Amino acid sequence: MKRKKDLVAPYFYLIPSMLVFAVFLFYPFVKTIYLSLFKTNKLGQAKIFVGLGNYAELLSSASFRNSLKVTLIFVVIVVIGGMLLGLVTAVLCNKAFPGIRFFSTAYALPMAIASSSAAMIFQIMLHPAVGIVNKLLGLDINWLNDPKTALYCVAILTAWLNSGINFLYFSAGLGNIDESLYERASVDGATGVQKFFSLTLPGLSPIMFYTLVVNIIQAFQSFGQIKILTEGGPSETTNVIVYSIYRDAFFNYRFGSASAQSVILFIIIMLITLVMFRIEKKGVKY
């Protein structure tokens, strides 16, 4: 009798969180899949069943394929840039020196800046006529309106924004590495570079893995800075999937197509995440 109770009771404890998940995750999730099979009217109500029509239309549209490509480039730059910046700054701040408080605050600061406000500041800085970037470099480049540079500008801004939280993660990770390991390595005559690659990096691998997963997801979700800086332009060179979803849903009122894009994005991130959990087993040493 008692054992049976033990089997049932735990599920009751799960109910509150499941309820929250149901309302905010499962229901919208199912609804999104449902809507992606329909053409919707201007209120977002399913009107005409088209099956996989929305998906077929998307995959054959040059604009969506461009979005996929742009998103991929964007994510790669943001993840690599953001993590490198976070790692370098964290390693630099790992030693005590005068003014460390100032530097660590400065490096962690992007974490506290909302992407939209940062974007507005960058918009002024990158302005071709009055912006400080062109003035300092003595150039005349229309950064945000040139198809060649726009994506990089937005990606680098995002990388910098993400570097703040990465700095924090890596700093915590560095603190967890046993000091005595370094002492012993010094006794053995290891150089700073050797210590970094043989001790610091392996020691950081668990946190590195977590940071990587979070960074990739975050990069896919970047929105505010793109909306403010380029609105997907010029010539759709910064039209990442999330922005394209927003345009279709809340601007063009095509919730069906927007839902289909969301599902495709979900599948992509799902696959990437699964692959990474695979790799985790091989590469991460706890």
Partner 1 sequence: MKKRIVAALLAATMTMGLLSGCGGKTTAEASGASDESTAVTSDAAMAEASEVDGTEITFWHSMGGVNGEAIDTLVKKFNDENELGITVNAQYQGEYDDSLNKLKSAQIGNMGADLVQVYEIGTSFMKNSGWIVPMQTLIDGDSYDVSQIEPNLSAYYTVDGQLCSMPFNSSTPIMYYNKDMFDAAGITEVPDSLEAIGQVGDKLLGAGAGEVMSLGIYGWFFEQFISKQGLEYANNGNGRDEAATAVAFDENGAAANILTAWKDLSDKGYAPNVGRGGDAGLADFSAGKSAITLGSTASLKQILQDVNGKFEVGTAYFPKIASSDVGGVSIGGASLWALDNQDPKKLRATWEFVKFLISPESQAYWNAQTGYFPVTVAAQDEAVFKENIAKYPQFETAIDQLHDSKPEYAGALLSIFPEARATVETEIESMLNGKQDVDTAVGNMATSINKSIEEYNLVNE
274 lies in the binding site for partner 1 (CB under 8 A): yes
- Whichever of 77 and 216 has its CB closer to partner 1, that residue is 216
Stretch that binds partner 1, among 93-101, 107-115, 137-145, 155-163 (CB under 8 A): 137-145
Stretch that binds partner 1, among 12-20, 173-181, 196-204, 263-271 (CB under 8 A): 263-271
- Whichever of 195 and 247 has its CB closer to partner 1, that residue is 247
Q: Which residues, listed in sequence order, are joined to residue 49 by a DSSP beta bridge?
A: 38
Handedness of CA 93, 95, 99, 105 (dihedral sign): positive
Q: What φ, ψ does residue 217 adopt, rounded to 5°?
A: -65, -45
Q: Which of residues 204-233 bind partner 1 (CB under 8 A)?
A: 213, 217, 220-221, 231, 233
CA distance 29 to 42: 21
39 lies in the binding site for partner 1 (CB under 8 A): yes
CA distance 142 to 165: 30
- Whichever of 42 and 69 has its CB closer to partner 1, that residue is 42
At closest approach, how far in Å is the CB of 86 from partner 1? Answer: 20
At closest approach, how far in Å is the CB of 24 from partner 1? Answer: 6
- Whichever of 111 and 228 has its CB closer to partner 1, that residue is 228
Residue whose token pair is 């992606």: 36
- Whichever of 88 and 284 has its CB closer to partner 1, that residue is 284
- Whichever of 48 and 100 has its CB closer to partner 1, that residue is 48
User: What angle (nearest 5°) sits at the alpha carbon of residue 268, between those of residues 18 and 144?
Assistant: 115
Instruction: Check: CB of residue 74 under 8 Å from CB of residue 219.
Output: yes
Residue 153, burial from CB neighbour count under 10 angstroms (0-12, 13-18, 19+): buried
Q: Using the rule CB under 8 A, which residue among 251, 282, 285, 286 binds partner 1?
A: 251
At closest approach, how far in Å is the CB of 100 from partner 1? Answer: 34
Q: Using the rule CB under 8 A, which residue among 20, 25, 52, 139 binds partner 1?
A: 25
Stretch that binds partner 1, among 17-25, 98-106, 151-159, 168-176 (CB under 8 A): 17-25
Q: Tokens at residue 112, please?
A: 């506290």
Our measurement of the distance from residue 38's CA atom to the centroid of its chain's CA atoms, rounded to an integer in Å, reads: 29
Q: Using the rule CB under 8 A, which residue among 65, 147, 175, 196 binds partner 1?
A: 147
Question: Which strand (E) or helix (H) includes residue 39?
Answer: strand 38-40
Residue 227, burial from CB neighbour count under 10 angstroms (0-12, 13-18, 19+): middle
At closest approach, how far in Å is the CB of 166 from partner 1? Answer: 17
CA distance 143 to 138: 13
CA distance 16 to 102: 43
Q: Using the rule CB under 8 A, which residue among 130, 137, 187, 193 binds partner 1?
A: 130
Handedness of CA 55, 57, 60, 66 (dihedral sign): negative
The contact set with partner 1 (CB under 8 A) reads 21, 24-29, 31-32, 35, 39-45, 47-48, 127-130, 142, 144-145, 147, 213, 217, 220-221, 231, 233-236, 245-247, 249-255, 258-259, 262-263, 265-266, 269-270, 273-274, 277, 280
